[in-house]
């Protein structure tokens, strides 16, 4: 009996000592490869790394390299304010070269101007869908970036409201050096289905100096898309189907023009040509597909193949709820 009591008294102490030894073991520093990868991380992941440990936080805050090219996209764009943008861009210490604000609706003219005053050497400015900016605010930003013989190479402003032909001429006058160089090069087509993914266009060597122009169909200042169909590429300019999205409907998958008789709907309200519609998976209930950009919205069904779209799923849940209440 005494022996068993002694063993019982020993076991807890031995387990406690093993736990203490585990707790006393110091955490190891992050692998060196993580520090090398910081400069290539998107902004959201970069900010997340800064709260992992002290060494990564110091590396993120003290190293300028990860902050020379700042790209703000989902999920941060809707929450980005002027104050937060100023705090983020200040980490570049005035050496910011690329600023991409994708659909950052809370950014104002004053906020953008403050950032540019602190970073006058920006070469690429992407502000598509920044509806809080005005054409005059964009012009003031470009004028500031054109001072002291500095040349702004790329400007993307699609989605900024009320840009007129006069505004466009003023912007081109500040981008004249880059425009003349671009005219010497072979013109790269702008395809609708590729232009929808703005982050893919960032840092592309064949980017246009400015992404908007005067639409040949409606004469409004908008993004003008080329047709991806081989049949349309050989048409003369008078019959060419170049135009903005409002004038010429285009397929969300292939970027080609869509004739009324071949227009098909997707669950996500994007338009598809009949060829692309046939190739995409369909909802088991409504027989409509998602475009590839919104394919993750479909819910897995109980069937061996296919999916149930979010609209059908909502309608089914609504019917079940009504039957249960009745």
Whether the CB-CB separation of 66 and 47 falls below 8 Å is answered with no
Q: Is 79 helix (H, G, I), strand (E, B) or coil?
A: helix
Backbone angles phi, psi at 88, to 5 degrees: -70, -45
Whether the CB-CB separation of 286 and 311 falls below 8 Å is answered with yes
Joined together, the tokens standing for residue 233 give 């590429």
Task: Name the band, by pLDDT with cuts 50, 70 and 90, for residue 47.
Answer: confident
Is a pLDDT exceeding 80 seen at residue 114?
yes
Is a pLDDT exceeding 50 seen at residue 1?
no
| pLDDT for the residue numbered 259 | 86
Mean pLDDT of 38-58: 82
Tens digit of pLDDT for each residue in 20-37? 544 555 666 776 777 777
Is a pLDDT exceeding 80 seen at residue 159?
yes
Whether the CB-CB separation of 266 and 288 falls below 8 Å is answered with yes
| pLDDT for the residue numbered 198 | 54
Whether the CB-CB separation of 258 and 250 falls below 8 Å is answered with yes
Joined together, the tokens standing for residue 161 give 């409201």
Whether the CB-CB separation of 4 and 32 falls below 8 Å is answered with no
Residue from 117, 51, 52 nearest 85 by CA = 117
* Sequence-ordered strand ranges (E) for 237-296: 263-265, 271-273
More confident residue, 58 or 26: 58
| Pairing of the two strands 98-101 and 69-72 | parallel
Task: Name the band, by pLDDT with cuts 50, 70 and 90, for residue 9.
Answer: very low
Mean pLDDT of 111-137: 95
| pLDDT for the residue numbered 302 | 43
| pLDDT for the residue numbered 291 | 86
Cα within 13 Å of Cα(161), Cβ side:
7
Is a pLDDT exceeding 60 seen at residue 181?
no
CA distance 85 to 79: 10
Tens digit of pLDDT for each residue in 207-255? 678 999 999 989 999 999 988 887 777 676 656 788 998 999 999 999 9
- Using the structure block, give the residue that is written with the tokens 């395809």: 191
| pLDDT for the residue numbered 294 | 81
DSSP 109-174: HHHHHHHHHH-TT--EEE-TT-TT--HHHHHHHHHHHTSTT----EEE-TT-TT--HHHHHHHHHH
- Angle separating helix axes 165-174 and 176-184, nearest 10 degrees: 80
CA distance 273 to 262: 6
Q: What burial class does residue 37 get, using C-beta atoms within 10 Å of its C-beta: 0-12 exposed, 13-18 middle, 19+ buried?
A: middle
Mean pLDDT of 36-57: 81
Cα within 13 Å of Cα(154), Cβ side:
19
| pLDDT for the residue numbered 69 | 92
Dihedral sign, CA of 38, 43, 47, 48?
negative
Beta-bridged to residue 283, according to DSSP, are 307
Mean pLDDT (the chain, rounded)? 81
CA distance 29 to 22: 17
Residue from 321, 320, 294 nearest 307 by CA = 294
Mean pLDDT of 110-119: 96
Q: Is 273 helix (H, G, I), strand (E, B) or coil?
A: strand
Is a pLDDT exceeding 50 seen at residue 301?
no
Is a pLDDT exceeding 60 seen at residue 274?
yes
Is a pLDDT exceeding 50 seen at residue 141?
yes
For residue 75, say if its preceding peptide bond is cis, omega within 30 degrees of 0: yes
Task: Show Cβ contacts of residue 39 under 8 Å, excluding neighbours closer than 6 positions.
Answer: 63, 65, 66
Beta-bridged to residue 85, according to DSSP, are none
């Amino acid at each position: 009996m005494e022996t068993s009591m002694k063993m019982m008294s020993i076991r807890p102490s031995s387990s406690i000592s093993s736990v203490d030894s585990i707790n006393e073991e110091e955490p190891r520093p992050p692998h060196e490869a993580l520090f090398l990868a910081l400069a290539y991380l998107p902004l959201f992941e970069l900010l997340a790394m800064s709260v992992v440990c002290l060494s990564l936080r110091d590396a993120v805050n003290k190293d300028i390299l990860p902050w020379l090219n700042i790209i703000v996209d989902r999920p941060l764009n809707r929450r980005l304010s002027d104050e937060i943008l100023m705090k983020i861009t200040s980490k570049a210490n005035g050496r910011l070269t690329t600023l991409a604000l994708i659909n950052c609706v809370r950014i104002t003219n004053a906020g953008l101007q403050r950032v540019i005053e602190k970073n006058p050497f920006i070469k690429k400015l992407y502000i598509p869908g920044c509806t809080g900016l005005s054409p005059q605010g964009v012009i003031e930003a470009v004028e500031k970036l054109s001072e002291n013989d500095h040349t702004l190479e790329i400007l993307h402003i699609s989605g900024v409201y009320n840009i007129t032909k006069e505004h466009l001429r003023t912007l081109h006058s500040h981008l004249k050096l880059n425009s003349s160089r671009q005219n010497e090069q072979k013109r790269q087509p702008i395809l609708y289905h590729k232009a929808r993914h703005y982050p893919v266009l960032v840092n592309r060597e064949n980017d246009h100096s400015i992404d908007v122009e005067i639409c040949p169909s409606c004469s409004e200042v908008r993004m003008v898309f080329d047709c991806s169909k081989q049949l349309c590429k050989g048409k003369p300019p008078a019959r060419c189907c170049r135009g903005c999205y409002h004038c010429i409907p285009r397929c969300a998958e292939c970027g080609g023009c869509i004739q009324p008789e071949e227009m098909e709907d997707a669950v996500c309200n994007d338009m598809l040509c009949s060829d692309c519609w046939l190739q995409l998976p369909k909802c088991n209930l409504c027989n409509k597909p998602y475009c590839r950009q919104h394919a993750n919205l479909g819910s897995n069904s109980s069937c061996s193949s296919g999916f149930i779209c979010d609209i059908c799923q909502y309608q089914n849940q609504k019917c079940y709820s009504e039957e249960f209440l009745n």
